[in-house]
Structure 1
Amino acid sequence: MTQAASAFRALHDGPGAFILPNPWDVGTARILAALGFKALATTSAGMAFALGIREGQATPDQVLDHCRSLVAATPLPVSADLEKGFGDSPESVAETISAAAATGLAGGSIEDHTGDPDRPIYPFDLAVDRIAAAVEAARAVPGDFVLTARCENLLWGRDDLDDTIRRLQAFEAAGADVLYAPGLYDLETIRTVCSAVTRPVNVVMGMPGATFDADELAAAGVRRISVGSALARRAYGAFIEAAREMAGEGSFRFAHRAMGFAEIEGHFAARGP
């Protein structure tokens, strides 16, 4: 796994931007690997959907078990969406990173969203202290671990770009390897964020609103492009649409759009039974 972590870090050195897709189980991880992607990232929402729970309700053991299964699914490096970590304090974040690294992950992200809708974003100093603790823990693990620091302002009603950049810059100063502010809404804003920091920036596509292709994002300064829960939501959307057709109409027209066995299984052929 040290080799995978080193390969993951090298992807961030460029040139250009690479796509980091987000599988939610072993099968989707293996399909993405067969399609030629160079690294994978978990999706906390996709994992939760597969468990039949809401995002943020998974236990630490469930999260770590999920990470182990995706790490073992392919030879590719895997980065994990670790949400806020397994607690609010810097110490709990450090413990999260140590436990996550022990699963064989090549990296992971910690966000400044509290999980509490009444106070959704950690105060600035605490948010920075949490990232500093995560960095210290990441540097202490055997091998390498690419730490991504996330500012969640734009997803939680705090449309304050100045504060978002201030937080990302502070996370960079604390030692974060990758910076990430989900919800950036246009190329000019993305360009502004990328030019305000010196570490690689991750941008998520697949959220409601404008989408841009990889070349456009690379030209704006983006180094890494993820899709979060978008693949899982697309798949669950198709499933629910088909189920509603059966429940509401008693028809099965959806099956005409189903992919055949041979095409699906072709993605798993290299791994054997």
Structure 2
Amino acid sequence: MSKVETFRRLHHGRTPDRPLVLPGPWDAASARALEEAGFPALATPSAGVAASLGYEDGATPADEMFAAVARIVRAVDVPVSADIEDGYGLAPKELVERLLEAGAVGCNLEDSTGGVLKDPHEHADRLAQVRYAAGDSLFVNARIDTFIRGVADPERAIERAALYVAAGADCVYPIGAPTSVLPLLRSGIEGPVNVFATVGEGPSPTELGELGATRVTFGPGLQRRATAALREITAELK
């Protein structure tokens, strides 16, 4: 079985109390540590990778992001999905080629750019083109940015999710959705749902699964906690 097939299967047949937990490595060393901890797959966070490369979130050049993903993939045997923000303006065919060259089994694609939501129909068309170019070789996680862009109505997220699933998305990611609306989102969305969790705070992955999460990711949370721990260690060295 290929890595992408393994990754896709990890999203199905899960019970509510056992969502797929995908921690986010920011470099090869962190990826190896997470694999050694027993996680069956990993999902890179763009903000965490950006920080490791010395960039602000959203400012990493495409070439450097794909190179970082490739280093992470080479370091582990488990499947790795890549957060590639809004796709860096690359044409769908080139975007897919770059992901496959890096060894990624999947990707996150955001539906906002520069802090502004994209037209959902236009974004669905782009997702469909990515799906056509990728075939079954990539797992596409369509990030829905309504909640973080000031649109609190969960029905708007559900509407976008329907368009993206119809376009071929394997999973949708309503980032920033309040936990109180997760059951509504779960009831209104077809297929797997990715939910963001805060490391060490808020509901546990199990609790998020019971609220409707199929998979749980942490964005740059682990990288930021590791950096905070390093600051504490260095303070002791002075």
TM-score, normalised via structure 2 length: 0.91
Deviation digits for residues 76-134 of structure 1, max 9, x if unmatched?
000000100021xxx724421231122211111111111x23xx111222222221222
Q: CA deviation at 1:241?
A: 4.8
* 1:168 counterpart letter in structure 2: A
**Aligned pair partner of 1:176 in 169, 179, 197:** 169
Asked if residue 211 in structure 1 is aligned to residue 210 in structure 2, the reply is no
**Aligned pair partner of 1:48 in 50, 56, 64:** 50
Distance 2:199 2:28 in 1: 23
Q: What are the within-5 Å matches in structure 2 for residues 158-169 of structure 1?
A: 158-169=151-162
Deviation digits for residues 152-183 of structure 1, max 9, x if unmatched?
11112222322111111110111100111110
Contact kept, 8 Å, 2:120 with 2:163, in 1: the verdict is no
**Aligned pair partner of 2:185 in 193, 203, 206:** 193
Which residue is 1:59 aligned to? 61
> Highest relative contact order (Cα 8 Å, sep 6+), 1 or 2?
2
**Aligned pair partner of 1:135 in 131, 152, 156:** 131
State the percentage of identical aligned residues. 33
Q: Which moved more, 1:8-17 or 1:41-50?
A: 8-17
Distance 1:29 1:193 in 2: 31
Structure 1 runs not aligned, ≥5 long: 246-251, 255-273
TM-score, normalised via structure 1 length: 0.80
Distance 1:124 1:147 in 2: 16
**2:132 aligns to what SS in structure 1?**
helix
Q: CA deviation at 1:224?
A: 0.7
**2:140 aligns to what SS in structure 1?**
strand
Count of residue pairs brought into register by the alignment: 235
Q: What are the within-5 Å matches in structure 2 for residues 1-273 of structure 1?
A: 3-16=2-15, 17-87=19-89, 92-114=91-113, 116-117=114-115, 120-139=116-135, 144-186=137-179, 188-206=180-198, 211-241=202-232, 245=235, 252=236
Distance 2:119 2:9 in 1: 33
Distance 1:163 1:95 in 2: 30
CA RMSD of aligned residues (A): 2.0
Distance 2:36 2:199 in 1: 25
Q: CA deviation at 1:6?
A: 1.1
Contact kept, 8 Å, 1:5 with 1:106, in 2: the verdict is yes
Pair member with larger Rg: 1
Distance 1:198 1:229 in 2: 27
